[in-house]
Amino acid sequence: MGIRIEGPGPRIMDFRDIHTPVLLERCVELLAPALDREGAVFVDATLGMGGHSEAFLERFDGLRLIGLDRDTDALRIAGERLARFGDRTTLVHTVYDGIRAAVASAGVDRIDGILFDLGVSSLQLDEAERGFAYAKDAPLDMRMDQSAGVTAADVLATYGEGDLRRIFERYGEEKLAARYARAIIAARQTEPIVRSGRLVEILDAATPAALRNAGHPAKRVFQALRIEVNAELAALEQALPAALELLAVGGRIVVLSYQSLEDRFVKRELARASSSTAPAGLPVELPEHAPQFRLLVKGAELASDAERESNPRATPVRLRAAERVREIV
């Protein structure tokens, strides 16, 4: 394997109890035509605890996996889970915008399939001390990679009112962004906001009574803080175009998004890649203007009612997929 993670971490024997891969069978179905051959290379850009990757390695005997994740706890668990596949797996500690370097370090030029399962992982949500879940009181960390970077508490302590309002509006699409930013600035004058329970109290108190039934007041703010702390959209904006460039002809990509900002970007990038670049009015499309990709699904696919019932974390998922049909000329 390409990485060894030392030191203490979460128990690894119970990962199957806390991790149900979203849209697993649909992902396998869409990627199978590109991966069902000896020597095919599959990149799991968001390895997590390895649930999706385990299924692909089990079903395609000739498959090689390159798994990426910024979370060292997740890599430790995935490494244990996938150890039985031996040298068919290479795990890399990196954010997915490091995909080019990760693939190159594995000695690979082109890949045959790639999966992005975006957003926060089951491990991060279920480990209360990570601070991702507003329903659990915990330190406001929210770093996917706990070895580096600023925490959510750092953001709340140092950002000005305008910056807080900006991230709540942009990354949380929160209509009460200005109100919540003011409340946070006022509250931190008394004491630092370092726990999720305290932040929830501040947001709840700042929410008008008439809007209290419109969903949990902390949901969008916590989403915005998580995206800011982990620079998630910035990473995706670099990673998705790089992933498309790495795909060989016949290679396929599947992206699972869980919030509208991610999904809009994915939709836009796949639409661009699957559209002709011929100038308007050109009577004949030249080969170099033909689309490089074709879309594999119409619009965004949702999880079935049965899957939503059995795995509530599949409820917001939006799946998009495409296949490379020609090389860049």
Place of tokens 């996938």: 82
In the structure, what pLDDT confidence band is assigned to residue 288 with cuts at 50, 70 and 90?
Answer: low
**Taking 50 as the threshold, does the pLDDT of residue 13 lie above it?**
no
Question: What local confidence, expressed as pLDDT, does residue 284 receive?
Answer: 64
In the structure, what pLDDT confidence band is assigned to residue 300 with cuts at 50, 70 and 90?
Answer: very high
For 189-240, write each residue's pLDDT tens digit. Answer: 999 999 999 999 999 999 998 877 767 878 899 999 999 999 999 999 999 9
Weakest-pLDDT range from 100-104, 146-150, 187-191: 146-150
**DSSP assignments along 298-319, one per residue:** SS-B---HHHHHH-GGGTT-EE
In the structure, what pLDDT confidence band is assigned to residue 95 with cuts at 50, 70 and 90?
Answer: very high
**Alpha carbon of 190 to those of 117, 145, 153, 165, 193: distances in Å?**
40, 30, 15, 20, 9
Query: CA 38 to CA 61: how far, in whole Å?
Result: 7
In the structure, what pLDDT confidence band is assigned to residue 18 with cuts at 50, 70 and 90?
Answer: low
- Burial of 80: CB neighbours in 10 Å, binned 0-12, 13-18, 19+: middle
Q: Which conformational region is residue 142 in: left (phi greater than 0), alpha (psi within -120 to 50 degrees), or beta?
A: left
Question: What local confidence, expressed as pLDDT, does residue 190 receive?
Answer: 95
User: How many CB atoms neighbour CB 5 within 10 A?
Assistant: 17
